[in-house]
Chain A
Amino acid sequence: MDIKSFQADFINAIFGGDKEPAVSHIIGDSILTAEQRLGIYSGSVHGILTQALGTMFPVCKSLVGDVFFNNMCAIFIDKNPPNTSFFAEYGTHFPVFINAFEHVKDIHYLPDVARLEWIRQEIWHEEKSQLADFSGLATLSEDEQSKVVFNLSKRMRLIRSDYRIDELWFAHQEDSELNLEDIEMDYAVKLIVRRDENTIKISSFNETEDDSNFWDFLDAISEGNNLDNLAEQFGESLGVHLSQGIQGGWIERFTITNE
């Protein structure tokens, strides 16, 4: 028995591939056939991974129901066998999968809910970074200042949706007083998701409110715009936004680019 090729056959079999090559090495008996014994492992692996996905995407699970969610996971798992030892990293492709999954096309907001849930996962596992000394900015030459690029906190993400996914998420939390039927879903939001020590806050910026300009400012930073470009885009608001971003801990570092 070539153990290396058996392990390849076994992996292939438990993730929906041809079972026969692996089955041929297993002893069957009157209680369980070799294929059924292999099936116990297939069921166990899918169970472990489905449970992990359910923990990471609880609102998605609640929205589609347990049975549908588990079936959806089964398809996802076979298409995306884990390549990481860390559960916290498994699920990175789940929102994209949901977006392309034909059977949930009618739940238009589901892919954005999945994105929001995944962002929360990512932030839980981001290391805390040190704040830069921004007083150094003042000592830079005018030319250097124009090339400054800012970096947002690693424990923060921006997300935009055409749907009120923030309220939908809150409505699914244990202590929420929000009712699902009261949420106006077709309502575009710009969100900041941020971890503050042991809690994650989701802040929404209404498209029509004045402070949505601050969200756009942070978004422009996340896209790598330098100070020159930011000045061009935000004009007189730049100083206020920059000060707000640094003091609020949204902006953590800066670098000088050569471009």
Chain B
Amino acid sequence: MKITKEEVEYVAHLARLDFSEEEKVKFTSQLNDILMYMDKLNEADTAGIEPMSHAIALQNAFREDTVKDSLSHELSLSNAPEARGPFFRVPKVIE
């Protein structure tokens, strides 16, 4: 096994996802298959090869430091489940 049910529960918690027992078992098995498949990639010899973070060979994509129009705050808030005045309103969180 590449991954345990406890690890699936942990990852689900980090993603704030709530699964039933049944789902946990199913996802453990599915993730296990995926990770087994990934193992195949480990068979390739990568000695002396720099890890890459992108598939395209592009670097230094920049924009100049210029200000353009933002959205109006009405538009910014238009998708918000709850708003109050110019603010988004969320359940109180203090950490």
Q: Do A and B bind each other?
A: no
